[in-house]
């Protein structure tokens, strides 16, 4: 199997232990947290969910896996060994109540590689759930649903449908059933309506629980998801968070008519008086499969006091505004601001611009976690670095092929780097990337393999000071080091690992460990054998006739379908299947999987 897929469960295993990272880290399958699952409050929101706020959260937290339009086609989701729920499909969204989705988002679904999003407040979770549940409806469908309800239930009270508690407990399917039969609190609609009519009515009634009318939008793509593709030595290891620009579509920008509307804001930090500041406006696309489109681009000049003003700005309700300024070769952006109905002026939140520096001594590792997986001939190494920029300048890294402050042994093979899921965002520069001061920690992961012989030594150079080091090795492997203290046994996925701890590691020092023995249960061998079996299964399936009558008995269960999809993905990554055939077959298998559900 592709070595990146083999490394995925190990990486997830390690990051699940990394408490210094943000909370939304995916543990490995079967992982049992030492903490009890979060206690859920009432399974309905304290206030009406806000779709605009929900769209922002969805773009930052969900779109990377579930896709911009909720079709389960996000770039990070494609890397997972399981299929991702297509929240934007009616057959998926209609079967669960909002309360069920709230529970899922709060507690996660470890088996499906979905983490618990405890970093979000309860109201934020309800906001994003409401937005995700709106993805399968269109404005036209909602308007039609209102007409149907009004025409077929004249003078029917709407109190029940505005009750957050009642509506949170009802799926769309249950709501349609209620509209058919009625209840003590709900008057049944007239007989003879089609299911399509009833679902349209249900879509309209759902909007009565929202804080604002449903916007015809998909995810706003306000945050570019962290890169998940790994890089071998000599390739570009990281993708920077260039915010809106690469994620949003663009259209020819025309000069707006004079409207009298104004947009103001301020820039803190470095003296940027006299520099150009740009205001960019984006509209939500009518097509739910298309990203928001750039509708305007205006230029202004920063005043001596750091403020700026844009006049005669065209306002459209729901339009997204962002201000940006380039300084020292780094482009900084403000937070996003949405146009509300009836306003004629807006203030963009202040953002900070920093002087730049190449002094990487300002980086301090807060925690470093290193995981060794040992077989008879190979050591797989995964290291996660959590660190901060302790200075007051933006640190520049002028390299697109390496991270100069993270070192790997000279004999390392299959070297790759990536940014952890909830690292503070990186900023793009012409020759590399930049790291401004941030309250959120930065996080990088490096991984590589080493030829292994029992009794070998591995030396890890630390270019920066490190507050704490945690090393994990499988039970059965012995580790000796003058720099580390042996700790407890930990159990993950029914496999035991011994931890070793180090503190106060100085920049320029080297931590040397001596490994002997091998894992009692080698995960890579087990996964590799499974991968080979799946590849043979997929080849056999391809040899079979594609006729629907013959494929009816091709798979016995949902697990068989998932296994076939995983095997298909492996073959495509290995270049053994043409893209056209791959996408056609994968779409067929996913459709079968949805039908099985």
3-class secondary-structure state, position 224 = coil
Report yes or no on 242 lying in a domain.
Answer: no
Domain boundary among 336, 353, 370: 353
Report how far apart, in Å, the C-alpha atoms of 346 and of each of 113, 321, 555 are.
Answer: 40, 10, 57
Using 50, 70 and 90 to split pLDDT, how confident is the model at 501? very high
The span from the CA of 404 to the CA of 524, in Å, is 29
pLDDT tens digits along 63-113 = 888 888 888 888 877 776 667 888 888 888 898 999 999 988 888 775 566
3-class secondary-structure state, position 331 = strand
Looking at the fold, whether 537 and 517 belong to one and the same domain comes out as: no
pLDDT for the residue numbered 519 = 62
Q: What is the CATH number of the domain that holds 477?
A: 2.60.40
Report yes or no on 537 lying in a domain.
Answer: yes
Scan for tokens 């915010």, then name that residue: 243
Determine the structural domain holding residue 209 and report its residue range. Answer: 36-219
Scan for tokens 């393999």, then name that residue: 449
Question: In degrees, to the nearest 5, what angle opens at C-alpha 542 toward C-alphas 537 and 547?
Answer: 120
- Indicate if the pLDDT at residue 471 is higher than 90: yes
DSSP state of 109: B
- Indicate if the pLDDT at residue 211 is higher than 90: no
3-class secondary-structure state, position 550 = helix
Looking at the fold, whether 63 and 172 belong to one and the same domain comes out as: yes
Report yes or no on 41 lying in a domain.
Answer: yes
Report yes or no on 10 lying in a domain.
Answer: no
Report yes or no on 364 lying in a domain.
Answer: yes
- Which H or E run includes 434? strand 433-435
Domain boundary among 521, 555, 580: 521
Looking at the fold, whether 312 and 405 belong to one and the same domain comes out as: no
- Indicate if the pLDDT at residue 429 is higher than 60: yes
Q: How many separate domains does the chain show?
A: 4
The mean pLDDT of 51-56, rounded to a whole number, is 89
Q: Are strands 363-374 and 466-474 parallel, antiparallel or unpaired?
A: parallel
Tokens of 134: 């709106």
Looking at the fold, whether 381 and 418 belong to one and the same domain comes out as: yes
**How many residues comprise the chain?**
597
- Indicate if the pLDDT at residue 250 is higher than 50: no
Q: What is the CATH number of the domain that holds 272?
A: 2.60.40.10
Looking at the fold, whether 498 and 547 belong to one and the same domain comes out as: no
Tokens of 494: 């029914």
> Which residues of 328-411 form beta strands (DSSP E)?
330-333, 337-338, 345-347, 351-353, 356-357, 363-374, 378-389, 394-397
Phi, psi angle pair for 476, to nearest 5°: 110, -20
The span from the CA of 299 to the CA of 402, in Å, is 36
Looking at the fold, whether 581 and 471 belong to one and the same domain comes out as: no
Cα-only R_g, the chain: 27
Looking at the fold, whether 270 and 292 belong to one and the same domain comes out as: yes
Looking at the fold, whether 441 and 531 belong to one and the same domain comes out as: no
pLDDT tens digits along 521-565 = 444 443 443 344 344 444 444 444 334 334 344 555 666 777 777
Select from 339, 283, 285, 337 the least CA-distant residue to 69.
285
Looking at the fold, whether 497 and 561 belong to one and the same domain comes out as: no
Domain boundary among 498, 521, 544: 521
- Indicate if the pLDDT at residue 437 is higher than 90: yes
pLDDT tens digits along 112-170 = 667 777 778 889 999 999 999 999 888 889 999 999 988 888 788 888 999 999 999 99
3-class secondary-structure state, position 114 = strand
Looking at the fold, whether 364 and 476 belong to one and the same domain comes out as: yes
Report yes or no on 240 lying in a domain.
Answer: no
CB 38 within 8 A of CB 444: no
Q: What is the CATH number of the domain that holds 133?
A: 1.10.760.10
Cβ partners under 8 Å of residue 582, min gap 6: 568, 571, 572
Scan for tokens 């008086």, then name that residue: 273
Cβ partners under 8 Å of residue 233, min gap 6: 401, 415
Report yes or no on 227 lying in a domain.
Answer: no
- Indicate if the pLDDT at residue 323 is higher than 60: yes
Report yes or no on 4 lying in a domain.
Answer: no
Tokens of 88: 């934007």
Using 50, 70 and 90 to split pLDDT, how confident is the model at 431? confident
Cβ count within 10 A of residue 526: 10
**Inter-axis angle of helices 558-573 and 579-596, nearest 10:** 170
pLDDT for the residue numbered 503 = 93
Looking at the fold, whether 338 and 399 belong to one and the same domain comes out as: no
Looking at the fold, whether 330 and 455 belong to one and the same domain comes out as: no
CB 568 within 8 A of CB 562: no
pLDDT tens digits along 410-426 = 889 888 888 876 788 88
Q: Where are the alpha helices (DSSP H) in 208-299?
A: 244-247
- Indicate if the pLDDT at residue 406 is higher than 90: yes
């Amino acid at each position: 199997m592709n070595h990146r897929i083999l490394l995925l469960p190990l990486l997830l295993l390690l990051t699940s232990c990394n408490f210094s990272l943000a909370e939304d880290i995916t543990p490995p399958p079967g992982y049992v947290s030492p903490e009890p699952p979060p206690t859920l409050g009432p399974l309905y929101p304290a206030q009406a969910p806000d779709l605009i706020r929900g769209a922002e959260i969805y773009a930052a937290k969900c779109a990377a896996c579930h896709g911009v339009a909720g079709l389960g086609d996000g770039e990070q989701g494609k890397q997972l060994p399981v299929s991702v729920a297509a929240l934007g499909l009616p057959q998926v969204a209609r079967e669960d109540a909002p309360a069920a989705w709230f529970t899922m988002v709060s507690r996660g679904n470890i088996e499906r590689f979905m983490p618990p999003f405890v970093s979000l407040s309860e109201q934020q979770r309800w906001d994003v759930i409401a937005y995700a549940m709106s993805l399968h409806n269109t404005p036209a469908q909602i308007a039609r649903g209102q007409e149907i309800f009004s025409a077929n239930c004249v003078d029917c009270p709407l109190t029940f449908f505005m009750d957050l508690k009642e509506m949170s407990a009802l799926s769309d399917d249950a709501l349609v059933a209620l509209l058919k039969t009625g209840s003590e609190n709900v008057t049944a609609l007239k007989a003879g309506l089609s299911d399509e009519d009833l679902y349209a009515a249900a879509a309209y009634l759902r909007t009565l629980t929202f804080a604002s009318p449903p916007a015809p939008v998909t995810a706003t793509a306000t945050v570019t998801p962290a890169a998940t593709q790994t890089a071998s030595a000599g390739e570009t290891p990281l993708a920077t968070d260039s915010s809106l620009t690469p994620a949003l579509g663009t259209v020819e920008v025309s000069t707006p008519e004079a409207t009298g509307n104004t947009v103001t804001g301020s820039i803190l930090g470095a003296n940027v008086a006299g520099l150009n500041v740009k205001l960019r406006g984006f509209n939500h696309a009518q097509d739910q499969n298309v990203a928001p489109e750039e509708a305007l681009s205006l230029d202004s000049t920063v005043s001596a006091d750091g403020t700026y003003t844009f006049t005669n700005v065209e306002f459209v309700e729901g339009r997204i505004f962002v201000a940006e300024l380039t300084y020292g070769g780094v482009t900084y952006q403000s937070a996003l601001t949405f146009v509300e109905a009836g306003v004629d002026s807006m203030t963009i939140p202040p953002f900070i611009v920093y002087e730049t520096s190449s002094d990487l001594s300002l980086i301090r590792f807060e925690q470093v976690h290193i995981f060794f997986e040992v077989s008879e001939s190979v050591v797989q190494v995964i290291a996660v670095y959590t660190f901060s920029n302790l200075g007051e300048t933006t640190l520049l890294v002028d390299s697109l092929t390496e991270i100069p402050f993270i070192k790997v042994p000279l004999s390392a093979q299959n070297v790759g780097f990536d940014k952890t899921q909830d690292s503070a965002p990186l900023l793009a520069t012409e020759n590399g990337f930049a790291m401004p001061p941030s309250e959120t920690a930065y996080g990088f992961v490096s991984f590589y393999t080493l030829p292994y012989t029992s009794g070998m030594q591995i030396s890890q150079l630390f270019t920066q000071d490190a507050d704490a080091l945690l090393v994990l090795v499988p039970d059965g492997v012995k580790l000796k080091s003058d720099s580390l203290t042996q700790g407890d046994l930990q159990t993950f996925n029914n496999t035991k690992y011994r931890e070793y701890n180090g503190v106060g590691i100085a920049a320029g020092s080297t931590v040397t460990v001596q490994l002997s023995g091998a894992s009692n249960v080698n995960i890579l061998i087990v996964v590799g054998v499974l991968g080979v079996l799946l590849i043979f299964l997929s080849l056999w399936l391809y040899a079979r006739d594609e006729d629907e009558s013959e494929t009816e008995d091709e798979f016995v269960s949902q697990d068989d379908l998932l296994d076939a999809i995983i095997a298909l993905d492996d073959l495509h990554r290995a270049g053994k299947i043409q893209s056209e055939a791959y996408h056609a077959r994968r779409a067929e298998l996913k459709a079968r999987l949805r039908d099985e559900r």
